Amino acid sequence: MEGIARDQLAVYLNDWLEIDRFKDYSPNGLQVEGKAHIRRLAVAVTATREVIEKAADWGADALIVHHGWFWRGEDPRLVGYRQKRLRALLVAEINLFAFHLPLDVHQEVGNNVCLGRVMGWPSPALLGEQQLIARADLPEAVSAEALQQQLAFHLERPVLAVGAVDRPIQRLAWCTGAAQDMIQAAADLGADAFVSGEISERSTYMAREIGITYFAAGHYATERFGVQALGKHLQARFPLQSRFIEDPNPA
């Protein structure tokens, strides 16, 4: 029979992504149980209702996302839009797997490594708390404007640059998603510039006063690549089909 047993896939993912290494904000691994056997596997950034409905229309037996459910500090009641998401998932009997920090830092399919690969940056060292910051030296120094344009081209969205935008950039650090408060940690690692997804009101002042360039390139945009790489890996390793499902977000 083609496909893989749900429990076999769960064990493989938990082990390969080393979920027990991490102190995370939501549970990693299987979050909602569906069909016992998986032939079609959808992957997406976030387990939204639209993603679930598209996965169900395709006939997915499982969905793997970076942003799952049951976040620390979140209202635990399944009401409103969250109840509708869960109902759509249960009606379709789709298994929901979520991997947050493990999918950020993995050395083969991690968001940080995959973003660097898309951008053509050198293979990074993974540093800092829980190895969340990637750092690499570019072959030659570039201007903030040139790096901003490169990011915008590859991510297909506007990119904001703040802070010390006039300094040349050669040592580059990055962490996808909402890592704007790691600006100081990136500077402590010797980075000339730091790339992440989101920006807060305080980020400009932090970058300016620390003397580093900060690029806000979009949370969704910087985290699209890890789940796609994971889906391709699983399709190559097991007899199943994988499909990436978009639900674009400008943030």
Q: 64 and 94 in contact (C-beta within 8 Å)?
A: no
Q: Structure pTM?
A: 0.97
Domains of the chain with bracketed CATH: 4-99 (3.40.1390.30), 111-222 (3.40.1390.30)
186-230 tens-digit pLDDT: 999 999 999 999 999 999 999 999 999 999 999 999 999 999 999
Instruction: Please tell me the predicted confidence (pLDDT) of residue 1.
Output: 65
- The dihedral built from the CA positions of residue 184, 18, 45 and 82, taken in this order, carries a sign that is negative
- Closest residue by Cα to residue 61 from 95, 12, 13, 97: 95
- The dihedral built from the CA positions of residue 121, 251, 145 and 211, taken in this order, carries a sign that is negative
Joined tokens for residue 5? 């047993």
Distance (Å, rounded) from C-alpha 40 to C-alpha 235? 9
131 sits in the region (left: phi over 0; alpha: psi -120 to 50; else beta) called left
Query: Which residues in the chain land under pLDDT 70?
Result: 1
